């Protein structure tokens, strides 16, 4: 199925219209029928229904959305070796050189050489020692599975560098310190140094520049722009090199290379990925996690204060998914991300429970964590006269951000100690006292965790539920919200996905997602927010020098250093969000066919025959101002299915309508990094629409009918 994304084709497809023309039959022999009640405005669709959820997983930021191209730019990713870095030696017979990680605490070097900290945050540097320089010698960075090279592109390179040498420190009388040792090799660091983006074998130089090093034993920042030529072929098989042909000891820190960023924002985002996010038209962004909020240990929780300000002051942290986070994308960058999308932040605050199972009990021990959350909220929404609001202003954003929802922790149902009741209550009381406009979200889904739910004080206003399921489970549960008690707290489906296909999900998963979303839409008076997870995956597999880039199969948007693509599920998300009214239209369904559901391993162990599941799913909303009705119908099976659609309560509808479909030929069809647009939405115009009309639903399809009714 090849299609032009969102292409508009005018199709005279009268043969598809009119009940009498149908040949396909429903399971019970009768045509499936949907009756939309348009006689009165229905309940209001939550204006926040569709958002995004993000965390540092699968190299979502480092090696993903954060545009930095240098991997391990501050040399802290691995304490035992300079990961992603290598020595470049043009002629190893005539030169003698080595690279070495230098921690500030290094002792096996002369006294003066121990001072390698650039700042308190960046205490490890890389030393290039050139004893003999017979030709070019330098350091190379392999990037995040390659450095992307594109024609006519300017890259901003920068790095800190210092040479070696003697520092004449005054000695205290009687000090045991020996006199500073002289450099062991001839120091000729001063002079020009070359910076290149080049092929991995060094034979092709894509962009090159020089900077003049001054002789200094103190850190100095060097910056230069590197521009590629017009005619080059894009490639990711490239590396970044800083090289010299002089002897000396060269110390490097915070080596950075930025390509053009989204809207040229400094320390910004990769444009193709940010554009895909903007195109989803999300109403909110849930950050910073997920597990990334919690960290493996209490001390590894997302350290938002250390993610602010100049990069020189950001130490980075352990992360929760097996690799270190640079924190180049820190709290302010999350907020800028929201601003780029016109979305509200939905802030997750660390609530004293971490992944390894440790928690901090409510009471005085929890107080510092509550205060930290209050500080964080002040950074987001406080005016520039407040302490943290002033910090935000100093960081470049004087205007406060709009904040309504604060989530207390993440998936605290894992904390079987039962401490969440007290922790949530302590956070909520402090937050609501200082910020009465804020709504605190509980991470315990009452329906599933009756014994863990919050019982102190008033009921939480909103609960976060998470669902990771296969398509059978999605289809079986797509109507679960139809019967939720409207007096219970509102629901935020803060993480969910149909998990089929890797690294990004396939068409069948998209059909599971679409069915599930029809259920959320039908009930969007009560399901006030939802967001798919995970959003991103760097699709690289392991190489001889870099590990596999992803930890979680089944993600929404895939990329490598050069290209990106949306999964079928991405396009389903995009069209569901784009084509949404503000009033729920009640729909009555008749003759919906079902299919048998295969026994799971557990079913067969327990001798259970699972219930059949429907093969057609639907929801309808109306834009009260324009009169446009958005009818979404999912056909999950291999054959076309006829459907009769009745628009009750109106006398007129435009005979022409827009039909948007996402479809494929088989459930495993998918998009990949090499075939990026196999499945994309296709938009056509149909005619023959009436207050009663019929249509054949394509096999394996999601169809959105945009019907113009009166206002």
Residues at the site binding ligand AHR, with contacts judged by CB under 6 A: 55, 57, 289-291, 410-411, 495, 533-534, 552
Closer by beta carbon to ligand AHR, 387 or else 468: 468
The distance of closest approach from Cβ of residue 351 to ligand AHR in the complex, given in angstroms and rounded to an integer, is 13
The distance of closest approach from Cβ of residue 537 to ligand AHR in the complex, given in angstroms and rounded to an integer, is 11
Peptide bond into 534 cis (omega under 30): yes
The distance of closest approach from Cβ of residue 495 to ligand AHR in the complex, given in angstroms and rounded to an integer, is 5
The distance of closest approach from Cβ of residue 467 to ligand AHR in the complex, given in angstroms and rounded to an integer, is 11
Residue found under tokens 């390659």: 146
In this structure, what is the dihedral angle of CA atoms 109, 115, 119, 125, given to the nearest 10 degrees?
Answer: -30
CB 437 within 8 A of CB 404: yes
The distance of closest approach from Cβ of residue 67 to ligand AHR in the complex, given in angstroms and rounded to an integer, is 23
CB 36 within 8 A of CB 587: yes
What residues pair up with 707 in beta bridges, in sequence order? 629
Cα 637 to chain centroid, rounded: 31
Please give the full DSSP string across 406-452, using - where no structure is assigned.
EEESS-GGG-TTSTHHHHHHHHHHHHHHH-TT-EEEES--TTT-GGG
Buried b (16+ CB within 10 A) or exposed e, 262-284: beebebbbbbebbebbebbbbbb
Closer by beta carbon to ligand AHR, 496 or else 700: 496
Closer by beta carbon to ligand AHR, 410 or else 573: 410
Peptide bond into 263 cis (omega under 30): no
The distance of closest approach from Cβ of residue 397 to ligand AHR in the complex, given in angstroms and rounded to an integer, is 27
The DSSP code for 62 is B
What residues pair up with 465 in beta bridges, in sequence order? 493
Closer by beta carbon to ligand AHR, 248 or else 319: 319
The distance of closest approach from Cβ of residue 292 to ligand AHR in the complex, given in angstroms and rounded to an integer, is 6
The distance of closest approach from Cβ of residue 277 to ligand AHR in the complex, given in angstroms and rounded to an integer, is 16
The distance of closest approach from Cβ of residue 302 to ligand AHR in the complex, given in angstroms and rounded to an integer, is 12
Q: For residues 98 and 119, what is the distance between their CA atoms, to the nearest angstrom?
A: 24
The distance of closest approach from Cβ of residue 494 to ligand AHR in the complex, given in angstroms and rounded to an integer, is 8
Closer by beta carbon to ligand AHR, 291 or else 504: 291
Please give the full DSSP string across 605-631, using - where no structure is assigned.
HTT--PPPEESEEEEEEE-TTT-EEEE
Tokens of 549: 């880039």
Closer by beta carbon to ligand AHR, 280 or else 628: 280
Residue found under tokens 């809207």: 263
Q: For residues 519 and 497, what is the distance between their CA atoms, to the nearest angstrom?
A: 14
CB 520 within 8 A of CB 529: no
Closer by beta carbon to ligand AHR, 303 or else 319: 319
Closer by beta carbon to ligand AHR, 259 or else 289: 289
> Which residue of the chain is nearest ligand AHR when measured via CB?
290
Closer by beta carbon to ligand AHR, 236 or else 499: 499
Closer by beta carbon to ligand AHR, 50 or else 159: 50
């Amino acid at each position: 199925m090849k299609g032009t994304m969102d292409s508009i084709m005018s199709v005279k497809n009268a043969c598809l219209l009119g009940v009498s023309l149908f040949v396909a039959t429903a399971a019970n022999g009768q045509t499936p029928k949907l009756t939309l009640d348009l006689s009165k405005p229905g309940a209001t669709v939550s204006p926040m229904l569709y958002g995004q959820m993000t965390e540092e997983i699968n190299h979502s930021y480092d090696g993903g959305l954060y545009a930095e191209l240098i991997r391990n730019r501050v040399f802290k990713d691995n304490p035992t070796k300079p990961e992603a870095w290598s020595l470049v030696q043009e002629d190893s017979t005539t030169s003698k050189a080595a690279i070495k990680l230098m921690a500030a605490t290094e002792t096996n070097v002369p006294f003066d050489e121990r001072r390698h900290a650039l700042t308190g945050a960046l205490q490890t540097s890389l030393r290039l020692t050139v004893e003999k320089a017979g030709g070019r010698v330098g350091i190379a960075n392999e990037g995040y599975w390659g450095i992307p090279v594109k024609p006519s592109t300017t890259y901003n390179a920068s790095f800190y560098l210092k040479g070696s040498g003697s520092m004449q420190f005054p000695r205290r009388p009687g000090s045991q310190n020996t006199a500073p040792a002289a450099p062991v090799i001839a120091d000729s660091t001063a002079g020009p140094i070359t910076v290149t983006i080049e092929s991995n074998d060094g034979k092709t130089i894509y962009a090159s520049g020089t900077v003049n090093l001054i002789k200094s034993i103190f850190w100095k920042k060097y910056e230069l722009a590197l521009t590629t030529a017009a005619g080059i072929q894009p490639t990711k098989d490239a590396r970044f090199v800083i090289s010299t042909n002089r002897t000396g000891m060269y110390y490097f820190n915070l080596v950075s290379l930025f390509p053009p960023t989204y809207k040229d924002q400094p320390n910004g985002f990769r444009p193709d990925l940010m554009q895909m996010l903007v195109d989803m038209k999300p109403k909110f962004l849930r950050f910073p996690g997920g597990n990334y909020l919690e960290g493996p240990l209490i001390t590894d929780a997302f350290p938002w204060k250390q993610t602010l300000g100049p990069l020189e002051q950001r130490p980075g942290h352990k992360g929760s998914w097996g690799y270190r986070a640079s924190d180049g994308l820190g709290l302010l960058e999350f907020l800028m991300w929201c601003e780029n999308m016109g979305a509200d932040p939905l802030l997750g605050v660390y609530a004293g429970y971490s992944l390894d199972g440790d928690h901090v009990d409510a009471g005085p021990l929890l107080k510092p964590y509550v205060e930290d959350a209050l500080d964080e909220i002040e950074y987001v929404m406080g005016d520039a006269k407040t302490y943290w609001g002033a910090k935000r202003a100093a960081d470049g954003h004087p205007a406060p951000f709009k904040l309504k929802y604060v989530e207390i922790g993440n998936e605290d149902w894992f904390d079987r100690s039962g401490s969440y009741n007290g922790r949530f209550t302590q956070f909520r009381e402090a937050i609501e006292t200082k910020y009465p406009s804020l709504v605190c979200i509980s991470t315990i889904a009452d329906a599933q965790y009756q014994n863990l739910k919050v019982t102190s004080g008033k009921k939480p206003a909103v609960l976060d539920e998470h669902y990771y399921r296969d398509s059978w489970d999605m289809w079986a549960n797509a109507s679960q919200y139809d019967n939720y008690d409207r007096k219970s707290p509102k629901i935020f489906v803060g993480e969910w996905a149909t998990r089929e296909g890797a690294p990004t999900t396939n068409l069948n998963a998209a059909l599971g997602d679409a069915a599930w979303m029809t259920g959320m839409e039908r009930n969007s008076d009560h399901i006030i927010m939802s967001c798919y997870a995970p959003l991103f995956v760097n699709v690289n597999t392991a190489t001889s020098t870099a590990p596999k880039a992803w930890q979680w199969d089944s993600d929404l948007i895939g990329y490598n250093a050069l290209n990106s693509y949306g999964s079928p599920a991405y396009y389903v998300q995009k069209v569901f969000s784009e084509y949404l009214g503000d009033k729920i239209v009640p729909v009555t369904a008749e003759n919906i066919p079902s299919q048998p559901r295969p026994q799971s391993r557990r079913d067969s162990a327990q001798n259970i025959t699972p219930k059949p599941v429907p093969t057609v799913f639907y929801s309808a909303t109306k834009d009260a101002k324009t009169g446009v009705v958005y009818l979404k119908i999912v056909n999950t099976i291999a054959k076309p299915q006829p459907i009769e659609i009745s628009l009750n309560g109106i006398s007129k509808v435009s005979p022409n309508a827009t039909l948007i479909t996402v479809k494929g030929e088989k459930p495993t069809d998918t998009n990949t990094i090499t075939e990026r647009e196999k499945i994309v939405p296709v938009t056509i115009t149909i005619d023959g629409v009436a207050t009663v009309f019929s249509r054949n639903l394509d096999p394996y399809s999601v169809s959105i009918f945009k019907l113009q009714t009166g206002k």
